[in-house]
Structure 1
Amino acid sequence: MKKYILFLVALIVTSCSKDDFSTQSAESKIVVEGWIEEGDYAQVLLSRSIPVTEMIDSTNVLNHVIRSAKITVSDGQTSEILKVKNDKDRVPPFVYYGTTLKGEAGKEYSLKIEFLNRIVEATTKIPKTVAIKSAEYVKKTDTDTTGYVFVKFDDPVNEKNYYQIATRIEGKESIFVPSFYGNLDDKNFSTTTVSVQINRGVLLFPKTKFTPYFTDGDLIHVKLRTQNKEALDFWNSWQNEIVNSRNPIYPANTSLKSNIKGGIGIWAGYGQSTLIVKTPEKRKPF
């Protein structure tokens, strides 16, 4: 059974392929996907960029995973070195995680990665959480077996906010997946009361064929994240690659946005609010 690959494991292609950075071209990159949410601990996935000459599949991705780095997260007063664990529900199955430093809104968090002769750094700040008011599964007709999710929330007045809406289907997805067109800038809202239709986001190497809708029988976890401008720009650039029919693993003309010094990818702080949406039971075939 195929498993899931997180978004940035093989983000940028290069012309290098050897395991030891000391023998690689200077073009080889450390790829970072890291985040810390309000009320939760930091998580980081780490890999090397995959050469353009190599085939991209879940097996090859494993050959580029970095699992022996030293990763330190700090809020300026307290620091912790992340541990690494094997998570069989993910590809790659190695996740660096924190256990003591829990994210707080308004605080800035630094990330420092030390691997062989490389140092990679980034900083991010966790915005205030904005609560989801409601999330509802809606079908065009009662006889349909598929539908979409509509999310409602209030955008705070006199505050600048950027959002990301993500979903996770229980039993089918091990991670929250950013929704397609789910990156939002409040400058585009015509009212403070926001209602948004949510489409399923795109995963690389999914278990099943991708569809943009949800299905009867799904138990859907819906998350509203507040994010900073750097994270919005990153995820929008990711989405643009898909909209323009380009594979984000092989960027055509532009590189994805990044806030990582000495590497590529994203280190983001998120506020977060989550609701669970139950759908009707899946009809049994006659």
Structure 2
Amino acid sequence: MKKCLLFLFGLLMMSCSKDDFSEQKSIESKIVVEGWIEEGDYANVLLSSSIPVTDVIDSTNVLNHVIRSAKITISDGENSEVLSVKNDKNRIPPFVYFGNTLKGEAGKKYSLKIEFLNRIVEATTTIPKSVALKSAEYIKKNPTDTTGYVFVKFDDQVDEKNYYQIATKINGEEPIFVPSFYGNLDDQNFSSPSVSVQINRGILLFPKTKFTPYFADGDLIHVKLRTQNKDALDFWNSWQNEIVNSRNPIYPSNTSLKSNIKGGIGIWAGYGQSTIIVKTPPKK
């Protein structure tokens, strides 16, 4: 199933550039980055050029803006690796840069360097310590309902400053974790260290079916609690605000999404992570 995460093509209203366009054309656009490295896992980076406001934004045009010939280097200050690129047919766009030697560790700083044509794009992030999910439960308002929500519980570390993101992935329907709607949390807003929160499904671009904010009987739901940095919290909150205000987050109507990318736009984030699988009743 071809799905697209919240891929960040054309976050600003810029001029068009393709992977095989001339150097002059590439200068007119922005390099758009969505990259992450989780504790215990390898780096992933999605790379594109920004889409002009005059262009039609659909899955076909998105493919025209993929950058798949860049050199991407990840380093923890001691070791480094150049990411490979693969074709993942479960995604739109189907090209992902990925690592296979440098695994994320909590507390370490990771630099990102992208070299494409005559440009260099850079960013740094750190991986916060993971916080374990205590439980995740599928709950319906009425026993006869065929849909419901997921409620998660975890303990905030009171002696630390933490920012969180809750993401979900429905087995067989979504190939990647999707940040939950209103799932970005700042622990300054918690009334107790024992946190219980309802999860609403996140929004995919170019979904195969009509979006609904709830889960359904028959879903096998992977729930992930990420610890994140303030840069990532600000980025995802600005993305969410665009949706809440009925704007298209592909290119904000009057604001730019927050970014920690030097020489480009987007996000390079380190995450701690804890995952639980939630089984729902069989679909009738």
TM-score (norm 1): 0.96
| Structure 1 gap ranges (5+) | none
- How many residues align structurally? 283
Q: Per-residue deviation at 1:5?
A: 4.5
Q: Residues 126-174 of structure 1, C-alpha deviation per residue, up to 9 Å, x if partnerless?
A: 0000000000000001100000000000001111000000000000000
Secondary structure of 1:24's counterpart equals helix
The answer for the alignment partner of 2:16 in structure 1 is: 16
Structure 1 Cα separation of the partners of residues 233 and 17 of structure 2: 31
Q: Residues 195-223 of structure 1, C-alpha deviation per residue, up to 9 Å, x if partnerless?
A: 00000001100111100000000000000
Secondary structure of 1:51's counterpart equals coil
TM-score (norm 2): 0.97
Q: Per-residue deviation at 1:250?
A: 2.4
The answer for the alignment partner of 1:4 in structure 2 is: 4
Structure 1 Cα separation of the partners of residues 160 and 125 of structure 2: 18
- 1:83 and 2:91 correspond: no
Contact 2:3/2:205 (8 A) holds in 1:
no
Q: Per-residue deviation at 1:14?
A: 1.2
Structure 2 Cα separation of the partners of residues 186 and 115 of structure 1: 38
Structure 2 Cα separation of the partners of residues 34 and 84 of structure 1: 13
The answer for the alignment partner of 2:143 in structure 1 is: 142
Contact 2:223/2:278 (8 A) holds in 1:
yes
Q: Per-residue deviation at 1:25?
A: 6.9
The answer for the alignment partner of 1:63 in structure 2 is: 64
- 1:51 and 2:52 correspond: yes
Q: Per-residue deviation at 1:12?
A: 2.4
What's the Cα RMSD here? 1.2
Whichever residue aligns with residue 10 of structure 1, its letter is G
Secondary structure of 2:169's counterpart equals strand
| Structure 2 gap ranges (5+) | none
Contact 1:21/1:116 (8 A) holds in 2:
no
Identity of aligned residues (%): 82
Structure 1 Cα separation of the partners of residues 255 and 105 of structure 2: 34
- 1:107 and 2:112 correspond: no
